[in-house]
A and B are shown apart, each in its own frame.
Chain A
Amino acid sequence: MSYIISDFRHPNAKVNDLGLSKRDYEGALSTLCAGCGHDSISAAIVQSFFEMNIEPHKVVKTSGIGCSSKTPTYFLGRAHGFNSVHGRMPSVSTGANMANKDLQYIGISGDGDTASIGMGQFAHVVRRNLNMIYLVMNNGCYGLTKGQDSATADVGSAGKKGVANQFAAIDLCQLALQLGAGYVARSFSGDKKQLVPLIKGAIEHQGFAFIDVISPCVTFNNTPSSTKGYEYVRDHLDATGTIDFVPERQELKIIHPEGTSKEVKLHDGSKLILKKNSHDYDLSSKREAMNTIETVREEHKILTGLIYLHEDPKDTHAKINSVDKPLNSLSQAEVCPGSAVLDDLNAGFR
C-alpha cells in the first residue's frame, strides 16, 4: 500500500536562483483520482513558481470546495493556505489581500465553485480587480459528487451517465472579460507547454488574472461524448499564438522570424512573446477577444492561449486608496490614532 512518495529526487535536479529545489515547491501526494487533470495543473503551478524564483512562504493559496479546491494541498506545501467555504474563495482572498498586499495570491476554484455556488463572489472579485491569480480547474462536472453536469458543461455533452446536458454553458473567460479582468487566458491541463507560460504571465500581471483550465475528469467526464474529455479537447484545441514567457532580466533566446511574433510587455519589464497565427488580433481589445472566442466556438473548437491582456494599474488597493504599507503591519497607533485625530476629522465635516 503506498500513498507515499519517496524523498529521493533526480541527483542532477537543479536549484533556482533562490537556491531552492523543485521539491521545495511540491506539496503532499495527491489523493485525487489517478489521471486527474487537476494534478497536471498542480505540477504546472509547481514548475511556474519554481522557475519564477518566488519564495514559497510569500505565496497565499486559497480555495473553496471541490476536487479543484483540494489541490492547494498538493502544491507549494510551504505557502500559506486557506481552504474556505464553497464558492467563498474570493472573499477570503480579498480579506487576506487587504491585510497583506505584499504576498502573491493564487486562488484555485472549480467550475462548480465558480460558475454555480460562487458566481456572485466571482463576479465581484473580478470587478474589483483584486491583485491575484484566479485559476479555475474546469472539468464540466461535479466530480466530487459523482459527476453531475456543471454550469460549464456544453449543451449536448454527455459524461459517464450518458445523458446529454440541456442547459446553456457559462463561458468563464467571456464573463471575466465582460466584468473587467485585465488578464484572461484559457488552457488545457494536458498542455503544459502553454499552461506554464500563462501561469508565469499571470504571476507577473498586476491586478486580476484569470485562467480557465480545461481539466478532464477521468472518472466521470472522460467519455467520447463529453466535450471536456482528453480526446475531445485535444482534437478541438485552437490556440491563439504560442507563448513564451521571458522574465525581465533574461535575454531573448527564442527568435521567431521577423513579423511572425509579437511582444507583450508586462508592467515589470518581463515579456510575453506570442507567435502569431491565424488568430492574430489586438490582445488589448476586449471586443476582438470576445469576437475570437465566439468565432472559434462556431467552428466547434475551443480557443486557448492568452485571450486578453490589458493592464489596469489600479488594483483594489489603488481604487480604495489604501496606504502603501500592508495593513497587517500597521501599529495600533496608526490604525487607531486617537480621539484628537477623530475630532479633527469630524470637524472637517462640519
Chain B
Amino acid sequence: MKETNIKNVSYFHKVVDCQYACPAHTPVPEYIRMIAARRFDDAYMINWESNVFPGVLGRTCDRPCEPACRRGRVEEQPVAICRLKRVAADHKSDITDRLPDIPTEKNGKRIALIGGGPASLTVARDLMPLGYHVDLYDDQYKAGGFMRSQIPSFRLPETVLDEEVNYILDMGVNTHLKQKVSSMRSMLEKDYDAIFVGTGAPRGRDLPKLEGRQEANDNIHIGIDWLANVAFEHTESIGEKVLVLGGGNTAMDCCRTARRIGGKDVRIVVRSPKADMKASPWEIEDAEHEGIPMFENHTPKAFVCENGKLVGMLFELVKAKYAENGRRSLVPTGEPDVLIECDDVLMALGQMNSFPWIERDLGIEFNDWDMPEVDKTTFQTSLKNIFVGGDAAWGPENVITAVAHGHQAAISIDKYCHEKDTRDRPPPGTTLISQKMGFHDWLYSAPVSDDLRFVVSHVDTELALSDRKIEVEKGFSLEQGLKEVQRCLNCDVQTVFEKDKCIECDACEDICPTDCITFIDNDEEDILRQSLKMPADNLEQSLYVSAELKTKRVMVKDENVCLHCGLCSERCPTGAWDMRKFLLHEAKAGR
C-alpha cells in the first residue's frame, strides 16, 4: 500500500466517526470535552455554531452519530452523544453576549426564506451576521416549522424551541408569519436577490381508496396535520380507542400524543414485521413504556362504519418474505381478517413534498417525481436565484440534515449575491495540534472509562400521561453527564506517526490494548488487512500506512478500534508517535 497522506484533511476527518457521520459535521468530541471541563457555554456554542439548535437536537435528533460512534465497536453501547448535547444546553448560562454581532449597516442584499423551519432558520442565522436583509415567510403564527408542529411538547418543551428560534429571529429577521405563500411568481415579483425554499414535506400520505375512507372521514386524521393541530391547540381531544397506522417516528409521536389527550386504548398497527419499523429504537421503546401495544403484519383492508360512524378497521394478516435480492414482499397468510375496534384512526404513513404554489413556467425545472431539480452541492435550482433545502429538496429527512442543507445553501446564496461561482465550495477550517504536556501528561483525558452507558431517567408515566406538555425525559443529571462524557474515546485526538523518528522497538505494537498497530512487510491492501496482528475486517475503516522503515517494513495501524488512549505515544522512546487534536470546522457563508 502507498503511504497514507495525512495532510489530506479527509483522512483524519473520517477517523472522527461521529463528526463524519453528522450531516452538519458537529465537532462532537470537542464539545464533549468542554462539558467534562464544565465549560457548558463553550460546549453549547460549539454546537450552536455547527447545528444551530443544540437544545432541540439534544432531545430530538435522529442521532446518525451514535451508530457511528467508535465506542459501540469496543463495547455494547455508543456514547450518549445526543443527550450530552442536552446537558450542554441545560447547564449553560446566558449566552446572548456570545451571539454574532449583526451589522447595522446592511449589505443591500434582500433574501426571502419561504417556510420557517430549521433549514430556513439556518440560512437566516448564517446570512444575518453578514449584513443581509432577510424576510421569513411562514403560514403558522410562530416560526420553527416541523420542530414546532410535529415534535410534541412532551419531547421538546416549547420554551426550549422558542429560545433557540428567537436567537435567530432576534438578529433582526423580518418575519411574515401567518402568511401562506401561494405563488412563487408573486414572490419573484418582490425582487429579492435570492429566494430560499424551506417548506418541508408537508403532505401526509392517505389511503384514499380504502373501503369506507369517505364514510369515516370525520374520525380519520392525517398524522402530521393532526399533530400540528394539537400543537397549535386546534385539537384538544380524541376518542378512547385509537388506531395509529404506520411504524415511523411520526406514528410514535401520534400514539403518545393520543394517550395524553383522551386516548385510553391506543394501538399501533403496522403492515410490516416490527423489526422493519422505521422509527428510532428509543422512540419505540418510549411508546411501549407508555403501554402502547404494536400489532405487526396487519395490512389495512377497510374502515368499518356503523350508522355512518367509524367503529373499527379490518386488517389482512400477512407475512414478510424476502427475495434473494433482499426485496421484501408481504404475502397474505390466509388467516381470517382481523377487526380492531376504534373511535379514531391516525395515519402516519409517510410524507410527501408538494409544490402546488410553484408555477411551472418560471424556469424552475421539475423532475419526473414533480419535484424541483435541485443541485446536490449548491442547492440551487435551474432558476439561479432560487435555492431549496431541508425536506423540500429531496423528501423527508430530519432536523440535522435540514440544518446542514441550510449552511450549504447560505454559502451558495452568499456567493450568488456577490457574483461568485456557487460551485467553488470553501474548504473546512482544520487544525492539528499536539496534545503533549509531559511524559504521561496530555491536554485531553486519555484514560478510557469503563462505565457503561448511563440511562436517562424519565418522569413517572402516570404524571407524563396527564399533561401533554410535561417533558418525559429528565435529561442527564450533572453528575451522570460528567461521567458519561468520560466514555468518549476522543477520536479527534489523532495518532500521528513520524517514521523518521521510529527505531522499531515495537513498544507501541506491544502496548496497544486493542492490537491496532503492526510492523509488517508491505503488501496489497486486501492481503495486508488479513496479515495484521488482528485482521482488519471493518473495510469502512482506513489503514494508516507509513513509508518504508529501516528494516524495510512499514507501520500499519488499523483505525477501526483505536481507543485514542495515547499509550503508543507514551511508550514511544523517540516521540515517533504523537497525539494531535484534529479540529474540523465546516466552512460557513462569508468565511
Q: Are B504 and A190 in contact (CB under 8 A)?
A: yes
Tell me, yes or no, whether A35 is within 8 Å of chain B by CB.
Answer: yes
Specify which of B503, B509, B515, B563 is in contact with A231 (CB 8 Å cutoff). Answer: B503
Q: Are A35 and B565 in contact (CB under 8 A)?
A: no
Residues of B within 8 A of A12 (CB): 534-535, 537
Residues of B within 8 A of A234 (CB): 504, 550-551
Q: How far is the CB of A226 from chain B (nearest CB, A)?
A: 13
A235 to B505, CA, bound (A): 14
Tell me, yes or no, whether A340 is within 8 Å of chain B by CB.
Answer: no
Q: How far is the CB of A15 from chain B (nearest CB, A)?
A: 14
Specify which of A11, A30, A190 is in contact with B73 (CB 8 Å cutoff). Answer: A11
Tell me, yes or no, whether B189 is within 8 Å of chain A by CB.
Answer: no
Q: How far is the CB of A195 from chain B (nearest CB, A)?
A: 11
Q: Are A5 and B513 in contact (CB under 8 A)?
A: yes
Q: How far is the CB of B451 from chain A (nearest CB, A)?
A: 11
Q: Are B507 and A1 in contact (CB under 8 A)?
A: no
Interface string of B340-384 (1 = CB under 8 A from A): 000000000000000000000000000000000000000000000
Q: Are B507 and A40 in contact (CB under 8 A)?
A: yes
Q: How far is the CB of A115 from chain B (nearest CB, A)?
A: 23
Interface of B is mostly: loop
Residues of A within 8 A of B566 (CB): 2
Tell me, yes or no, whether B561 is within 8 Å of chain A by CB.
Answer: yes
Tell me, yes or no, whether A33 is within 8 Å of chain B by CB.
Answer: yes
Tell me, yes or no, whether A43 is within 8 Å of chain B by CB.
Answer: yes
Tell me, yes or no, whether B583 is within 8 Å of chain A by CB.
Answer: no
Interface string of A169-185 (1 = CB under 8 A from B): 00000000000000000
Tell me, yes or no, whether A230 is within 8 Å of chain B by CB.
Answer: yes
Interface of A is mostly: loop
Q: Are B511 and A5 in contact (CB under 8 A)?
A: yes
Q: How far is the CB of B515 from chain A (nearest CB, A)?
A: 5
Central interface residue in A2, A7, A36, A192, by most chain B CB within 10 Å: A2
A218 to B448, CA, bound (A): 28
From B97-105, B129-137, B218-226, B567-575, the one touching the partner chain is B567-575
Known A36-B507, A37-B505, A39-B571: A9·B513 in contact at CB below 8 Å: yes
Tell me, yes or no, whether B514 is within 8 Å of chain A by CB.
Answer: yes
Interface string of B156-171 (1 = CB under 8 A from A): 0000000000000000
Residues of A within 8 A of B447 (CB): 2, 4, 6
Residues of B within 8 A of A189 (CB): 505-506
Residues of B within 8 A of A35 (CB): 503, 505, 507, 571-574
Interface string of A1-23 (1 = CB under 8 A from B): 11111111111110000000000
- Looking across the interface, which residue of chain B has its beta carbon closest to that of A23? B513
Interface magnitude class on chain B = 35 or more
Residues of A within 8 A of B511 (CB): 5, 29-30, 39
Specify which of B513, B563, B571 is in contact with A34 (CB 8 Å cutoff). Answer: B571
Tell me, yes or no, whether B488 is within 8 Å of chain A by CB.
Answer: no
Tell me, yes or no, whether B510 is within 8 Å of chain A by CB.
Answer: yes
A11 to B75, CA, bound (A): 8
Interface string of B542-579 (1 = CB under 8 A from A): 00000000110000000001010111001111100000
Interface magnitude class on chain A = 20 to 34
Known A8-B513, A12-B535, A216-B505: A2·B446 in contact at CB below 8 Å: yes
A218 to B503, CA, bound (A): 10
Q: Which of B72-110 contact A (CB under 8 A)?
A: 73-75
Known A8-B75, A34-B507, A35-B507: A3·B515 in contact at CB below 8 Å: no
A222 to B507, CA, bound (A): 15
Known A40-B510, A230-B505: A8·B563 in contact at CB below 8 Å: yes
Tell me, yes or no, whether B440 is within 8 Å of chain A by CB.
Answer: yes
Q: Which of A17-62 contact B (CB under 8 A)?
A: 29-30, 33-37, 39-40, 42-43
Q: Are A13 and B450 in contact (CB under 8 A)?
A: no
Tell me, yes or no, whether B192 is within 8 Å of chain A by CB.
Answer: no
A138 to B510, CA, bound (A): 19
Q: How far is the CB of A120 from chain B (nearest CB, A)?
A: 33
Residues of A within 8 A of B535 (CB): 12
Residues of B within 8 A of A231 (CB): 503, 550
Residues of A within 8 A of B506 (CB): 40, 43, 189-190, 192
Residues of A within 8 A of B567 (CB): 2, 5
Residues of B within 8 A of A190 (CB): 504-506
A36 to B441, CA, bound (A): 20
Tell me, yes or no, whether B442 is within 8 Å of chain A by CB.
Answer: yes
Q: Are A10 and B448 in contact (CB under 8 A)?
A: no
Central interface residue in B75, B507, B566, B572, by most chain A CB within 10 Å: B507
Given contacts A5-B511, A8-B563, 6 further A-B contacts (CB under 8 A): A3-B440, A5-B513, A10-B534, A190-B505, A230-B503, A234-B504
Which A residues have a C-beta under 8 Å from some C-beta of B? 1-13, 29-30, 33-37, 39-40, 42-43, 189-190, 192, 216, 218-219, 222, 230-231, 234
9 pairs, CB–CB < 8 Å, chain A vs chain B: A3-B440, A4-B447, A6-B450, A7-B448, A33-B573, A39-B507, A40-B507, A43-B510, A222-B503
Closest 3 CB pairs of A and B: A35-B573, A6-B448, A43-B510
